[in-house]
Structure formats: C-alpha cells, structure tokens
Amino acid sequence: MKRWCGGNTGHVAKSDRSGLCRGRLMMLMWIILSSSLSLMVDGQMKISPEMVQQWAVTFGKEIAAMSARYSGAKLLQKKYKDVEGMVKIEELKGEELVKKFAEEMEEMLGRKMKSVKRLAEAAEDADLYHDYNDTLEFDYFNSLLINTVDEGGNQVPLGGEFPLEENEHFNNLPVNTLLSNIQVPTNVYNRDPDILNGAFMSEALNEVFIENFQKDPTLTWQYFGSSTGFFRLYPGIQWTPDEHGVVTFDCRNRNW
Ligand SMILES: *[C@@H]1O[C@H](CO)[C@@H](O)[C@H](O)[C@H]1NC(C)=O
C-alpha cells in the first residue's frame, strides 16, 4: 500500500512502503498532449473539477482555432461558388455526427489519460525503489550540453553524442525519439545530488515515453518535471540558451 503525506513545503510528498515520509523527492508530473493542452497530476492523481473546467476551456479554444485553420471553411465557400451547378447537397444527421465526434473525443482523451497514468505509475515505482545516494556519480544527457565539444575536441561532461533528427511530428525540430534528456535551469547546479538522484531514477521513464508514443501516435511532447528543478523531456532535444548563454526556463515556475 502506498501512502502519501504532506511535505513541509505544502507539496505532496511521497512516503515509502513503510509509511515513512520522505520529503526529499517531491514530484510533480505532467504530460503535454498538444502544444497547449496540458495535464498536471499530483501524486494521488486527484484532479480537481476546476482543473477539468480549465482543460475544457483551453481545449474548446484550441478546437475552434484548429477547425478554422484546417477545415478551410472560407476556401470551401469560394470553391463551392465555382461548382455550384454540379454538386448535389446531401443532408447529414447532425445528431449522429455529434455522437460520433463525442465518442472519438472520449477515446482520444482516454488514451491521453492512460499515458499520464502509465507515466505517473512508472515515476512512483522508480522513486520507491531508488535509494537516495548523497555521493552518486551519474552522467545524464543534459539537453544544453549534448553534442558539445571542448577545445580539445572532447565531449564535455554531461554532454555526449546524442543523435538528433528533424521530425515532422515535432514541429520539424531535430529530436531523438529513442531517448529523453534533461534540462536544468542555469541557477540550479547541474550536479547537485538532488538532480543526479532524480535524473538517475527517472531514467526508467524512457521506455514509458516510447511506449506511450507507440500506443498513441497523436501524442506529442511528454515531460516529467521535478520539484528539485530538473525537467525530463521526450523526445530529447538540444536546448538553446538565450543571448547571454543563460537558461531561465524552470519547470517549477510554469503554470501547468
Ligand atoms: C553511491 O554512489 C557512489 C558513486 O556512484 C558509489 O560508489 C556508491 O557505492 C554508492 N553508494 C551506495 C550506497 O549505493
């Protein structure tokens, strides 16, 4: 039986099997379903009615924008004028269409929820079976440092060779769909024991990210954000700092 208890910062902290509270690894996790629809799930996967309401609003706006963009309604009206004499109008049963649409929508959202659930469970398990190690040494793929070499031509620490390939499904960005990688804001030490332990234990999510993507190809970015400040992102990408060489993005400050 897994139990949960409040951490001293007011987040939800996770306890281990014996019921002991461990405030150290407080996890937030989420998964991005499309560019603007996001789910955030706390440890117990309890989702408030307000949150659902908010999704509905966001989702509604998105669909309106999408249908305007992709249905080509304007173009269709113009084209129709050209062929008016040749076409015959067939009436469609609106109610049935709506029903079918609703079913498809439900199925799609169901798939997304399953993806979130799989991720949440994998993260919980990984955390549960990971013993915190203060002196852990672990080289993770840092999205800022990958494919970077020093003056001597050697890969920099926390970098390494990380193949990237442009992918249509991800806004034509060069990505690695076989691996996630980790972003850490500049003001967080990227070898802090909290970061190293979190990066190490969340390696287990790689296979879940890939499995989710295979099961639901409409899925786009999947993220795991930790309250320690690291952000695991699938597919892996190269992160570009701002013009001052600084990465300000901090997953903890996002209004997910
Ligand atoms: C902690 O990590 C260090 C470095 O990776 C390792 O040598 C040590 O055995 C680990 N300690 C435990 C208790 O696993």
What is the tens place of the pLDDT at every residue in 78-94?
766 777 777 666 777 77
pLDDT band, residue 29 (cuts 50/70/90): very low
Distance between CA atoms of residues 78 and 82, nearest Å: 7
Question: Nearest CA to 169 among 108, 213, 125?
Answer: 213
19: exposed, middle or buried (Cβ count in 10 Å: 0-12, 13-18, 19+): exposed
Report for 56-60, 122-126, 141-145, 244-248: range of highest mean pLDDT: 141-145
Task: Give the pLDDT confidence of 102-154 residue by residue, as tens digits.
Answer: 888 888 888 889 999 999 999 999 999 999 999 999 999 999 999 999 999 99
Q: Where are the alpha helices (DSSP H) in 72-192?
A: 73-83, 94-128
Report for 9-13, 84-88, 226-230: range of highest mean pLDDT: 226-230
Of all atoms in ligand 1, which is nearest to the CA of residue 138? 5
Question: Nearest CA to 228 among 34, 2, 7?
Answer: 7
Please report the pLDDT score of residue 65 as a whole number: 63
Task: Please name the residues in contact with 134: beta carbons below 8 A apart, sequence gap of 6 or more.
Answer: 193
Of all atoms in ligand 1, which is nearest to the CA of residue 137? 5
Ligand 1: residue whose CA is nearest its atom 2: 136
Question: Nearest CA to 205 among 142, 124, 128, 149?
Answer: 124
Ligand 1: residue whose CA is nearest its atom 3: 136
By percentage, how much of the chain surpasses pLDDT 90? 54
Ligand 1: residue whose CA is nearest its atom 7: 136
Q: Give the residue extent of every domain in the chain.
A: 101-253
Q: Which amino acids bring their CB within 6 angstroms of ligand 1?
A: 133, 135-137
- In angstroms, what is the span from residue 42 Cα to ligand 1's centroid? 30
Ligand 1: residue whose CA is nearest its atom 9: 136
pLDDT band, residue 66 (cuts 50/70/90): low
- In angstroms, what is the span from residue 194 Cα to ligand 1's centroid? 14
Ligand 1: residue whose CA is nearest its atom 14: 133
pTM, full prediction? 0.66
What mean pLDDT do residues 200-228 have? 94
Which region holds residue 201: left if phi is over 0, alpha if psi is between -120 and 50, else beta? alpha
Please report the pLDDT score of residue 241 as a whole number: 92
Task: Give the pLDDT confidence of 178-204 residue by residue, as tens digits.
Answer: 999 999 999 999 999 999 999 999 999
Please report the pLDDT score of residue 47 as a whole number: 52
Distance between CA atoms of residues 53 and 202, nearest Å: 30
Question: Are 239 and 183 a contacting pair, CB within 8 Å?
Answer: yes
Question: Are 40 and 30 a contacting pair, CB within 8 Å?
Answer: yes
